[in-house]
Structure 1
Amino acid sequence: MERELAVEVEAAIKASGASTFEEAQEKAKQEFEELCHVTLNIAVTGGTGAGKSSFVNAIRGVKEGDEERAAPTDVVECTKTPTMYPHPTMPNVNIWDLPGIGTEKFQTKKYIKDVNLDNYDFFLILTCTRLTEHDIMLAKEIRKNKKNFYFVRTKIDQDVKSEKRKGKAEEQTLSVIRQDLKEKLNDFPSAQIFLVSSWKLDKFDFHEMMCVLEKDLPEKKQDALTLSLPVYSIEILKKKYKAFKRGIWAQASASGAVGAAPLPGVSAAFDVTTISAFLTKVYYSFGLDDTSMKQLSDRVGKPIPADFKHSKLVKAIASKSVTALQVELTGFIVAEAIESALRFIPIAGSVAGAGMSFWSTYLALRKGLDELFTVSKKMLEMAKLK
């Protein structure tokens, strides 16, 4: 594995355009700072009853009924003003629940003025039936402001279930709905249309939609979107893993020794605090906390065995005790990483300037990331999510 990591680091240096390890580190620090401060504002809008609040809760990975974090849902319009819901574990990602358009209280022209289209990175225009003239007018205004927008047909699971009772196959139902929406969008020949269910993110067009949204975003905002998504498939888990893997290089470069006080038996060059913070973020993004696991269990309709909780690293993070986590890191990751770093430095000798501090932190972050990925993948396999 040491040789593989040496190749990774050399590739990272080459990709950065730097000629030395020190220059690449400095650039990585700057990029890491930018990543930490980048913001992503997603607007969810549409007609009354389109399922906006349920959708907002779903993409934030928040269970409806969570009084502290969930967007309120009801059969009538609940949202009176643009309401921001910060992501529970990615505070720089904000989901905006906008008021329903076209109601007596929210006429289109006034609506457009009140919500201030410039505030958002892109718009998701939701409907649960047919697109209305208000939806079309809103899309035209968004286009005038040169913002991206996407049409989202919600509650597809209900339509499929209803039509199945009439003898219609799922694909036939989806085809009819998709064609009906396209016919209403003559003014938008290249419009993106997605059919989704807020209750079954692993089905229909949700994954395809997120891939398109990510591709259309500026590069520095793509990871923010990926890391904020709930874990609904092994494929999205792998995308999160790759995003965090890219962040390891920047994190190890940004941390260095930073003068962190070592734990007993831990090299002063080893930044345990940085590693604890990073792996805790991974833990929540990978859906390993109790709340996320309960939601996964509810979604698939069966209990998820707790075998994966035998992981010492998962137990340490779940304890929410910084001291306990740091002690566990000492036994689980740190000692092995330092030993690996001692073997690693001669192998990576061509990477000038790479000292114990960088390698030990880098290796510990990678080992912890791999452990959490393995645990989360096992959990998804237990849930029979591909």
Structure 2
Amino acid sequence: MEKSYEDEEYKDFQEEVRAHLQNSNMASAAAKIQEFLEKKKNIHLNIAITGETGSGKSTFVNAIRGVDNWDERAAPTGVKETTMAVTPYLHPNFPNVTFSDLPGVGTMAFPAARYLKLVGFEKFDFFIIISADRFTENDVKLAKDIQRMKKKFYFIRSKIDQDINNESRCQRGFSEERTLTQIRINCVQGLRGQGFKDPQVFLVSSFDLPLYDFALLAETLERELPEHKKEAFLFAMPNISLEVIKKKKKAFHSNIKYLAALSAAVAAAPVPGLSASSDAVLLAAVVTRYVIGFGLDIPSLQRLSNCTGIPLDELFKVIKSPLAVEKVTFNLMLKLLAECANKAAALVGEEASKFIPFIGIPVAMTLSFTTTYKGLSIFLDMLAADAQRVFERSLGQKTKG
């Protein structure tokens, strides 16, 4: 099996940290672990959203960021061309992920023949090409140009909710499934007629992301991204399914051993009380990231309420963890750490057990590793369960299949 970027990165990191620990250079070991974690957290991802005027690009940019069209951070929407230049929109919780709203392809200012050069093709990781009807000659030319330059692109047929609504009002014996199938066939046949051998088209409603093909689109994007960019994309995705929540939990959990090793390196320092204080600060920062990643902070819940129409109080009612919603404080972490420390002798799982020899044998280091590992695992379980309950309350009733 071929080694991934992440495998090689981790191998180099592990060797450097082990060398520092063998030389009893705990400060350097801690600094290296911190550097590695920060690098993972700040990997940049820039996604281009393009298509012709009126295709719904700006609405999609807002929807995928979990921002409603009235939010001050929203991309402007309307029936006229509202994007006159390449406009980057940062994710509200993960600013390392950017969704760039591109001007419509084929306008006077951005003619199709020079489009990629004018928008700065090289800075984007992949392109999403949106159409509200059939994919035009300009869309196809753009896709072929992107393909020649060896970057990924994805076709999205937008405003599916409007099509379903219109068809249901004017068709006798209306069938939503039949209508969706026909829209997909029309799009695929049109693209085949313009030279694409086996095109895939995702049917999406920006006002109801859990419906139709958005989950399949997200899964496809995650699968085809370079290994080191997958985590950035995953955390930026709205919780459109229970599977997304499970994947986020798994990704968060994969970093726990590194955080526990950082705690252990600090514990080796001969300063009374330093380890507990450092652990509390570390856990507060990490748990806050869990809260934000699962969309359990108040601004995220408010945006979810605005988008779904579920009152904010109703979302609060299903949240059980003391770590969600309220600010994660140093004192709260100290209290919860003390509770975890009482259970530190318990097994922490196969992955953690394998990692303990890497940080050394001293009791203080092992205890700190075990406490941090166990504590973060417990907190992550609690918050993932809250995220699932919020999803089921707000969006679960809209999912299909």
Fold match by TM threshold 0.5:
yes
Q: Residue by residue, what CA displacement relative to the aligned partner does 1:156-214 show, whole Å, maximum 9, x if unpaired?
A: 01111111112321111111111111112122223321000111111100000000001
2:211 maps to 203
Q: Residue by residue, what CA displacement relative to the aligned partner does 1:10-40 show, whole Å, maximum 9, x if unpaired?
A: xx9xx96979994799797675343123211
1:362 matched to 2:373: yes
1:241 matched to 2:249: yes
Percent of aligned pairs with the same amino acid: 40
- Return 5+ residue gaps in structure 2 as ranges: 1-6, 22-28
Q: Secondary structure at the match of 1:189?
A: coil
- Once residues 221 and 348 of structure 2 are traced to their aligned partners in structure 1, the CA distance between those partners, rounded to angstroms, is 40
Cα distance change, pair 24–72 in 1 and its aligned pair in 2 (3 A): farther
1:104 maps to 108
Alignment partner of 2:84 out of 80, 86, 104: 80
**Which deviates more, 107-116 or 201-210?**
107-116
- Once residues 30 and 330 of structure 1 are traced to their aligned partners in structure 2, the CA distance between those partners, rounded to angstroms, is 24
- Once residues 381 and 346 of structure 1 are traced to their aligned partners in structure 2, the CA distance between those partners, rounded to angstroms, is 29
- Once residues 265 and 378 of structure 1 are traced to their aligned partners in structure 2, the CA distance between those partners, rounded to angstroms, is 38
Cα distance change, pair 255–122 in 1 and its aligned pair in 2 (3 A): farther
Alignment partner of 1:48 out of 53, 70, 73: 53
Alignment partner of 2:229 out of 204, 213, 221: 221
2:340 maps to 337
Q: Secondary structure at the match of 2:240?
A: coil
- Once residues 56 and 19 of structure 1 are traced to their aligned partners in structure 2, the CA distance between those partners, rounded to angstroms, is 41
- Once residues 126 and 78 of structure 1 are traced to their aligned partners in structure 2, the CA distance between those partners, rounded to angstroms, is 15
**AA aligned opposite 1:329:** M
- Once residues 149 and 374 of structure 1 are traced to their aligned partners in structure 2, the CA distance between those partners, rounded to angstroms, is 34
1:308 matched to 2:308: no
**Which deviates more, 202-211 or 185-194?**
185-194
Q: How many residues align?
A: 363
Q: Is the Cα contact below 8 Å between 1:313 and 1:329 reproduced in 2?
A: no
Once the two structures are TM-superposed, the CA of residue 247 in structure 1 deviates from its matched residue by 1.8
Alignment partner of 1:131 out of 103, 128, 135: 135
1:371 maps to 382
**Which deviates more, 353-362 or 148-157?**
353-362
TM-score, length basis structure 1: 0.84
**AA aligned opposite 1:104:** M
1:268 maps to 276
> RMSD value over aligned CA atoms?
3.1
**Which deviates more, 162-171 or 126-135?**
162-171
Q: Secondary structure at the match of 1:226?
A: helix
Cα distance change, pair 215–54 in 1 and its aligned pair in 2 (3 A): same
1:174 maps to 180
- Once residues 91 and 329 of structure 2 are traced to their aligned partners in structure 1, the CA distance between those partners, rounded to angstroms, is 24
Q: Is the Cα contact below 8 Å between 2:49 and 2:100 reproduced in 1?
A: yes
Q: Secondary structure at the match of 1:358?
A: helix
Cα distance change, pair 257–19 in 1 and its aligned pair in 2 (3 A): closer
**Which deviates more, 292-301 or 58-67?**
292-301
Q: Secondary structure at the match of 1:213?
A: helix
Alignment partner of 1:283 out of 263, 288, 291: 291
- Once residues 345 and 238 of structure 1 are traced to their aligned partners in structure 2, the CA distance between those partners, rounded to angstroms, is 20
Q: Secondary structure at the match of 1:268?
A: helix
Q: Secondary structure at the match of 1:378?
A: helix
Cα distance change, pair 177–229 in 1 and its aligned pair in 2 (3 A): same
**AA aligned opposite 1:371:** M
1:251 maps to 259
**AA aligned opposite 2:144:** K
